[in-house]
Amino acid sequence: MQQHDIEQAIAERFDALADRFPEELDPEDFRMRVVADFFGEIKGAKVLDVGCAKGRFAKALAKLDAKVVGVDSSEKLIESARVNVPIAEFFVGSATHLDFQNNAFDRVLCVETLEHIPDIEKAIAEMMRVVKSGGKVLIIDKNKFSFHPTIFIPRLALKTLMEYCNQWFYPRNFPFHEQWFSNHTIEQMLEKYASRVESSYLKDTENKLFSFLPFLNFFIAWKAIK
């Protein structure tokens, strides 16, 4: 299949499962703490949420008086986002072809979206294109080397098994499967466009071992300044 056809199939999959996606973000969500810390003061700033789903992060950003724009490939998710966050703007579109001018945004956020994009290098290039010089891009996504905190097996192995049993987001015969990443993979892609890049593992479990061995945690945050 061509990349366009795969992206279309992914969008249709999200449409089919749109009811699974939440509209609200927990006020104590550990990812939002990272967003607030890295983005800093965003009152009046123009922020792009790539892969916005129903707008839960967009809503949190709008409450901080940011001018939020969201984009997602799923028409059904965008329909819900427009109702959920009427003060923000939302568009149906591809992360690999962002329909915005160069240097259009002060901040760009991308949470658990790269994992669903066939051409992640193109998506990263697009995010860096639309952010202003000196602007910030924050990507949060899954760590391919993470371990499950209770049964202590590699999460990637568990995902592979669940995909084989058709118990994951994408069934076994789907033309695309969710991608997870190492911290270095995304860092290297961002470094092509950014003046500064850093990454960190995000602790989302009370298991003390994960504090001593942070690379076991499920999520990684990549922070880039153009």
Q: What is the CATH number of the domain that holds 83?
A: 3.40.50.150
Per-residue model confidence (pLDDT) at position 21: 97
What is the number of other CB atoms lying within 10 angstroms of the CB of residue 45?
20
The C-alpha atoms of residue 147 and residue 19 are separated, in whole angstroms, by 28
Residue 173 lies in a domain: no
Rg (CA), the chain: 17
Query: Which residues form the domain of 212?
Result: 3-147+179-225
Note whether residue 158 is domain-resident.
Answer: no
DSSP reduced 3-state for 132: strand
Encoded tokens for 152:
């202590």
- Number of domains comprising the chain: 1
Domain assignment of residue 30, yes or no? yes
User: Does 23 reside within a domain?
Assistant: yes
Whether 216 maps to a domain, the answer reads yes
Summarize the confidence of residues 122-141 as an average pLDDT. 99
How high is the mean pLDDT of the chain?
A: 96
Residue 11: which residues within 8 A CB-CB, separation 6 or more? 73, 74, 75
Which pLDDT does position 34 carry in this prediction? 97
Tens digits of per-residue pLDDT, 165-203? 999 999 999 999 999 999 999 999 999 999 999 999 998
Instruction: Give the span between the Cα atoms of 194 and 223, in whole angstroms.
Output: 10
Q: What integer pLDDT is reported at residue 4 of this predicted model? A: 87
- Render pLDDT for 12-43 as a digit per residue (tens, 0 to 9): 999 999 999 999 999 889 999 999 999 999 99
Could you give phi then psi for residue 109, rounded to 5 degrees? -120, 140
> Around Cβ 42, how many Cβ atoms within 10 Å?
20
Task: Identify the pLDDT of residue 142.
Answer: 98
Cα-Cα-Cα-Cα torsion 55, 36, 149, 143, nearest 10 degrees, comes to 80
Rounded to an integer, the average pLDDT of 45-60 is 99
Tell me if 161 is assigned to some domain: no
Which tens digits make up the pLDDT trace of 80-119? 999 999 999 999 999 999 999 999 999 999 999 999 999 9
Asked, for residue 29, whether it belongs to a domain, the answer is yes
Summary count for the chain: helices (H), strands (E): 8, 7
